Amino acid sequence: MSNSPDALEQDVEASRGRLDRTLGDLQMRLNAPGMPRNLADLRRSGQEAGEVVERLVADVRTNPVPALLIAAGFGLLVFEAFRSAADRRRLAVVAAGSAVAPNDRHLPENHQDRMRERLDDALEDSFPGSDPVSVRITK
């Protein structure tokens, strides 16, 4: 890169142009129709929001059944979102190999009779017959 004064001046002018465009874009975003321009606009927009809320409350009072149905639907939507997120977390743990599969009731070794046998075997392993004090659980 040459350090000639003309090249440096061109770089500075290009940077100024980019900065002017960026500032212009920011001004356009801040002067958008929905953005309050000063405190009076902000207060007015707050009053408008309050009026919208008051109208909504009045509509709910006059028609409570549709409002309850909408609230119930929204509640079910939120519930389903949380439940599916929990399922995804559980499946991620299972896929990582750190937990047992969530639905393993159908496996033959998990039937009630087999579970009792497994518990008896576990107790026998915990307290083997070779110990001076031996515990044997019988039915």
pLDDT of 47 higher than 90: no
Give yes or no for a contact between 128 and 121, defined as CB atoms under 8 angstroms apart: no
Q: How far apart are CA 71 and CA 98, in angstroms?
A: 38
Q: Given this model, what pLDDT does residue 91 score?
A: 83
Overall size of the chain counted in residues = 139
Backbone angles phi, psi at 33, to 5 degrees: -60, -30
The pLDDT confidence band at residue 51, using thresholds 50, 70 and 90, is: confident
Q: Given this model, what pLDDT does residue 62 score?
A: 92
Nearby residues of 129 by Cβ (< 8 Å), 6 or more positions away: 136
Q: Where are the domains of the chain?
A: 103-131+135-139
Span of 37-51, 73-87, 122-136 with lowest mean pLDDT:
122-136
Q: Given this model, what pLDDT does residue 130 score?
A: 57
DSSP 35: S
DSSP 36: -
Span of 63-72, 73-82, 117-126, 127-136 with lowest mean pLDDT:
127-136
Q: Given this model, what pLDDT does residue 120 score?
A: 77
Nearby residues of 44 by Cβ (< 8 Å), 6 or more positions away: 36
